[in-house]
Structure 1
C-alpha cells in the first residue's frame, strides 16, 4: 500500500538582516527559528510567501 503525505512550507524572515528562509512548518512548529546569517530569531510570514518573492504576471 502506497501512502502519500503532504508538507506545508512557510516562509520566515529576519528583521535584522532581511534574510528569507523557506522551511517545512511541521519541522519547526513550537521552535524558534534562528537566522542562518546573523543568528537573530526569525518571524514567520502569515500568508506563506513574502510579497517581494511573489511571482507576478
Structure 2
C-alpha cells in the first residue's frame, strides 16, 4: 500500500504541473480536481497502511 501512496502523490504532482501550465480555465480546473482526488487517495492509502501495521502489532503477543 505504501507504493500506492507514492504513486498517488506522483500523479498529484503531475496534475499540479499540468494545472500550472494550463492556459484554459477548464483544463486548469480539471487538473486541480485531479490533484485533490490523488491527494485524497494517497491519504487513504497511508491510513490503511497505518491501520494494517497497528493491527499487526496488536496481534503480536508481547513477551
TM-score by length of 1: 0.22
> Relative CO higher for 1 or 2, CA cutoff 8 Å, sep ≥ 6?
2
Q: Which has the higher strand share?
A: 1
